[in-house]
């Protein structure tokens, strides 16, 4: 486990939950996750779910991704995806608005790993260096990803070599995010 990443993710999640509570007077709320089972669910209302982060209860590894592509996933990425169950969290990084992707449940963890494998297979086919996504933007072609070789957080245009470094590390990136509630 990468303690810096775990601490930075936990701190951002707490900032997000606190900002939501301050603005709306409730736990974070999601309409997209309504009806999807998760240990995070604290209540429901009018086709929406309220949630709070919960400890990750599965084996904390992306072994399925590593095995499928015969790679070693860097510790910060392993930690990011296996530290907690939580809802996706909108945020800003500087002027950029993004959604920080999270694992919602045990079933979602399998789906996330399948999507990461598909992303890495496409990159391998296109002869691009391996990245794993951690966030989305409004543009469906752009994602926030982490280079599995350098650990840098990138703005990446899918299927191209267009990559812009946003931060030297995952912990630094998470520390500079502001909740968007």
Residue 159: pLDDT band with limits 50, 70, 90? confident
| 113-to-103, 106, 165 alpha-carbon distances in Å | 10, 11, 24
- The whole-model pTM stands at 0.93
Per-residue model confidence as pLDDT tens digits over 77-101: 999 999 999 999 999 999 999 999 9
Q: Is 31's pLDDT higher than 90?
A: yes
Q: What is the mean pLDDT of the segment spanning 135-154?
A: 95
CATH of the domain at 175: 3.40.1580.20
**Rounded CA gap, 10 and 85, in Å?**
11
Q: What is the mean pLDDT of the segment spanning 93-112?
A: 96
| The pLDDT value given to residue 1 | 73
**Rounded CA gap, 106 and 37, in Å?**
9
Structural domain of 154: 3-179
The residue ranges of DSSP E strands in 6-158, in sequence order, are: 29-30, 41-45, 48-51, 54-55, 84-85, 89-93, 96-100, 131-136, 142-147, 153-157
| Mean of pLDDT over the chain | 95
What is the percent of the chain with per-residue pLDDT over 90, rounded to a whole number? 95
Q: How many domains does the chain have?
A: 1
Which DSSP category does 162 fall into?
-
């Amino acid at each position: 486990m990468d303690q810096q990443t775990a601490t930075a993710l936990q701190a951002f999640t707490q900032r997000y939950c606190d900002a939501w509570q301050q603005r709306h007077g409730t736990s974070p709320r999601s309409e997209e996750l309504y009806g999807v089972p998760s240990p995070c669910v604290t209540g429901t209302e009018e086709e929406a779910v309220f949630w709070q982060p919960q400890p990750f209860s599965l084996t904390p590894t992306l072994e399925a991704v590593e095995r499928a592509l015969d790679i070693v996933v860097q510790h910060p990425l392993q930690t990011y995806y296996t530290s907690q169950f939580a809802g996706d969290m909108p945020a800003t990084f500087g002027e950029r608005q993004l959604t920080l992707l999270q694992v919602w449940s045990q079933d979602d963890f399998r789906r996330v790993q399948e999507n990461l494998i598909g992303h890495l297979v496409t990159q391998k086919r296109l002869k691009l260096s391996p990245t794993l996504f951690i966030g989305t933007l409004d543009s469906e072609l752009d994602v926030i990803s982490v280079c599995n070789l350098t650990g840098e957080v990138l703005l990446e245009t899918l299927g191209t070599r267009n990559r812009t470094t946003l931060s030297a590390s995952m912990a630094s990136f998470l520390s500079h995010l502001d909740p968007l509630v």
